[in-house]
Each structure stands twice: as C-alpha cells, then as structure tokens.
C-alpha cells in the first residue's frame, strides 16, 4: 500500500459522529461509498442493481463485489470513501435530489414543448394550465 493511500485510509479507521448525531463505523461507510462510485458501477450492472436496490438481507453479491471493486480501482474507492465520510449530505441523497430535479425539469420542458406546439399552430389552446 502506498503512503498516500495509507494516509487517506488512516482517518477512516476510527468511528466518527455524523451530523445527525449517530456514531457510524467507518468500515461500513467505505463499503457504501464503493457501491456508489460510477466507475465501479460499470463493472457489473446486475450486482450494482442489487447493491443499490436490494436490502442487505437479500444481497448475496455484496461481499464478492466489494472485493473485486477494491482490486479494480483502489484510489478511486478510497477517495470516494473519504468524500462520503466528510460530506454533510450523503452521496445517495445527492443523487436522489438530482434525479428529482431532473424529473420535474423534464416534465416542465415537456409541457413547454406542448405549449410551443400550440402557439406554433396559432390555435388557441383550451387547456387551462399545464398538463401535469
């Protein structure tokens, strides 16, 4: 292990108190962070889906995956683990927030497309508001 990686891992060895006041073991945070890295996700789609969506109770592929991913890109894994550990907002929540924003934005863009269609044809549109 290179000194740089060791320096990055060292702070993670201890537990820390999260902003919400819970003590969280760092090892778990590292495993979670590994599961969230896009570069690692591309390695195996089906197990990624399982990691993302299946409760740990049914997740038989997690251990195997974590080990292969760690071998694939250790520096990225550690960097992401550090980010996940230090960030006040978990990455998972950020991704979800971006998706919600994209969901609403697509809907609004789509509605504007429709409205432009109506304006383009110069025909009065009878609908009172947006089609939601």
Measured CA to CA, the distance from residue 127 to residue 104 in angstroms comes to 20
Nearest Cα to Cα of residue 69 among 34, 38, 33, 45: 34
- Note whether 117 binds another protein by CB under 8 A: yes
Rg of the Cα atoms in the chain? 22
Q: Pick from 54, 73, 74, 91: which binds another protein (CB under 8 A)?
A: 54
Closest CB 3 distance from another protein, rounded Å: 34
Closest CB 42 distance from another protein, rounded Å: 12
Q: Which is nearer to another protein, 20 or 86 (CB)?
A: 20
Measured CA to CA, the distance from residue 99 to residue 27 in angstroms comes to 28
- Note whether 129 binds another protein by CB under 8 A: yes
Closest CB 35 distance from another protein, rounded Å: 13
């Amino acid at each position: 292990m290179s000194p740089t990686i060791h320096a990055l891992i060292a702070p993670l060895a201890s537990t820390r108190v999260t902003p919400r006041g819970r003590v969280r073991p760092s090892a778990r945070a590292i495993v979670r962070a590994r599961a969230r890295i896009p570069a690692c996700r591309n390695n195996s789609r089906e197990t990624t889906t399982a990691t993302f969506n299946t409760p740990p109770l049914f997740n038989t592929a997690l251990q195997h995956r974590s080990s292969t991913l760690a071998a694939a890109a250790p520096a990225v894994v550690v960097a992401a683990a550090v980010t996940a550990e230090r960030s006040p907002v978990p990455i998972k929540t950020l991704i979800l927030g971006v998706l919600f924003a994209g969901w609403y934005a697509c809907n609004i863009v789509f509605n504007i497309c429709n409205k432009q269609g109506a304006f383009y044809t110069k025909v009065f549109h009878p609908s009172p508001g947006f089609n939601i």
